[in-house]
Each structure stands twice: as C-alpha cells, then as structure tokens.
C-alpha cells in the first residue's frame, strides 16, 4: 500500500527572542562532538517547552552568533530538559565548546517540520532509519519515539555509517537499542584492527536489505547531502516509492521561521517547509547546481 503522506504543520515559535537556557551537563561523545543537556532558566518555559523529533533550535552565544542545532534527545522529557549533540566546526560551535556546566546559552525554537511519524503510526508500517555521521543525532529522537510506541510499527531498522569505528556516535546506547529489538547495521569508510563489521558507505547497507515490504516501508535518511542522495537512490532501486523516503536538509538558517529568506531552496524555505523533506520534493532541487 502506498499512501500519500503529508506533514502536519507544527506550531512554530516565530520569534527572534532567545531565552536563557542553562547547560545542565556535557557528555563528550566522540572527538569534537559533545551532547549538551539543557534546561530553560524560566521554570514556566521549562515546564511547557515541547518539540517533535526532527525539529531544531537556534542556539545563541552572545557576542558571537547563532547556529541551528537539531534536537537529539527524547521528545517527551518530563524534566523539561532537552539535548543537543554538537560538532565543533567553526566560530559559534567553538564558542559553545568553551562553555561549562552552569553557564547559559540563548535558545529559540523549536523550528521546522518533524519527521513524519504521525503519517505511519498505527498503520503497520516498517520504518528504516539511515544515518551518516552526525546525521544520527536528529534521528535519535525518532528512535526514542519508535521504542516508546513500539506496538504501532512493524520492523524497525537503523543503518549507520561513520568514517571510522571511533567516529560512531552513541555506541553504548545503540547496543541497548539492539537488545530492544531494533535491527542495527553499521558500516565504516575505514576499518581499524578491531573492526569486524562492514566496510563501505551506508547505501551499501540499503542494497543488502532483505525482506523489505515495499508497500509498507518508510525510510528516514539524515547525513551529508551526497550520502542522502545515494541512500535514496539505493532505496528506489530496492523498489521503495520516493514518497516513502524522507531526508533532512540542513542548509544555513538565520531566522528559523520563514522571514529572512536565508534558507530558501527553490520553492521551499527549509526552516519551515523543512528541514525534513520528502524525497520526491528534494530530488529535483538537489540536481540543480549551486541551488
């Protein structure tokens, strides 16, 4: 069965105003990547703040700048805490790395369309998540949600690619997910002496999938654009309908709520029409050079 999924719009906090959020803890995941547990200073905001898997916040370091960062924690935390997994690449992320537990960042959000779980929940769909490198961070909230609502889905698979074994994110937690019945496959570009798994890129893992119910499978893909492109091609070769494949387009953002035009991608403003986009909508734009 192929259904025509649609994204239900999520109420956006369309504002430039940041709210102070305290860093509650910092966990170094792998080299240059850490997960920050955060909580709004305002108790009322901390209590009421909600987000959906796939959405992002704008994190502001005063005097330095603002960056878009996806949620990487459970969407339904009772404590009001939320998690961001951040790779240090430049000015603002360097400034975030210099912060310590107890210090604050400005946070506004959540922004963007979530992963389309509501489209598939309760319809007996299998869901495959495909992550390249840090692309696992925006998919981790999906794993939490799928596990929480396990009975509403069929087979759940997670295909993970990383440059090397030491670059695999959330390794311990992934072992726990495996024990909970998620089918996990990992691959690395470059193996080391202790690696006995697959070597190669993530699309190869899709090529090797067996028993996929083509009319009842959704695939959610997150990672570098080239990885998402080839993953979607592999999924289509397998027989999946492009309307069942979703990608997260992480282009540069500024306002986050459709006002500045900074994230325009063809007819879409990725901050509000994305970052999660259906493959049949993304494909034609990806082919346009420099778009």
Ligand X SMILES: Cc1cc2nc3c(=O)[nH]c(=O)nc-3n(C[C@H](O)[C@H](O)[C@H](O)COP(=O)(O)OP(=O)(O)OC[C@H]3O[C@@H](n4cnc5c(N)ncnc54)[C@H](O)[C@@H]3O)c2cc1C
Residue 69 contacts ligand FES per CB under 6 A: no
61, 86, 107, 129: residue in contact with ligand X (rule CB under 6 A): 86
Q: Would strands 19-30 and 65-70 be described as parallel, antiparallel, or unpaired? A: unpaired
69, 222, 263, 276: residue in contact with ligand FES (rule CB under 6 A): 263
Q: Where are the beta strands (DSSP E) in 71-122?
A: 82-87, 104-111
CA angle 146, 148, 154 (to 5 degrees): 45
227, 253, 277, 282: residue in contact with ligand X (rule CB under 6 A): 253
From the list 87-95, 96-104, 239-247, 260-268, the region that binds ligand FES by CB under 6 A is: 260-268
DSSP state of 123: T
How many whole angstroms separate alpha carbon 287 and alpha carbon 26?
39
Q: Where are the beta strands (DSSP E) in 234-287?
A: 245-248, 264-265, 268-269, 276-278
Judged by beta carbon distances under 5 to 8 A according to partner kind, the member of ligand X, ligand FES, none in contact with residue 121 is none
Residue 134 contacts ligand X per CB under 6 A: yes
Judged by beta carbon distances under 5 to 8 A according to partner kind, the member of ligand FES, ligand X, none in contact with residue 134 is ligand X
Q: DSSP 3-state assignment of 170?
A: coil
Residues that bind ligand FES (CB under 6 A): 253-256, 258-263, 269, 271
Residues that bind ligand X (CB under 6 A): 56, 65, 67-70, 85-87, 89-93, 134, 137-138, 250-253, 275
């Amino acid at each position: 069965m192929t259904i025509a999924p649609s994204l239900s719009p999520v109420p956006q906090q369309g504002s430039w105003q940041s709210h102070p959020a305290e860093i509650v803890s910092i966990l170094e995941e792998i080299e240059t990547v850490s997960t920050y547990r955060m909580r709004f200073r305002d108790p009322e905001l901390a209590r009421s703040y909600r987000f959906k898997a796939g959405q992002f916040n704008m994190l502001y370091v005063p005097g330095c700048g603002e960056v878009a960062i996806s949620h990487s924690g459970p969407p339904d935390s009772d404590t009001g805490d939320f998690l961001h997994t951040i790779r240090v690449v430049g000015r603002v992320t360097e400034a975030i790395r210099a912060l310590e537990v107890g210090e604050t960042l400005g946070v506004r959000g959540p922004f963007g369309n979530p992963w389309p779980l509501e489209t598939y929940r309760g319809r007996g769909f299998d869901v495959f998540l495909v992550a390249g490198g840090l692309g696992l961070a925006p998919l981790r909230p999906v794993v939490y949600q799928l596990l929480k609502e396990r009975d509403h889905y069929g087979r759940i698979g997670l295909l993970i690619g990383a440059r090397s074994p030491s670059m695999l994110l959330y390794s311990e937690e992934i072992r726990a997910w495996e024990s909970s019945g998620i089918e996990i496959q990992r691959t690395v570009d470059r193996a080391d002496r202790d690696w006995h798994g697959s070597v190669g890129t993530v699309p190869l893992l899709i090529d090797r999938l067996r028993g996929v119910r083509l009319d009842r499978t959704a695939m959610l893909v997150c990672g570098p654009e080239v990885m998402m492109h080839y993953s979607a091609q592999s999924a289509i070769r397998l027989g999946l309908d492009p309307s069942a494949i979703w990608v997260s387009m992480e282009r540069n953002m500024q306002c986050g709520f459709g006002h500045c035009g900074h994230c325009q991608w063809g007819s879409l403003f990725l901050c509000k029409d994305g970052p999660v986009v259906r493959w049949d909508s993304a494909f034609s734009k990806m082919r346009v050079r420099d778009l």
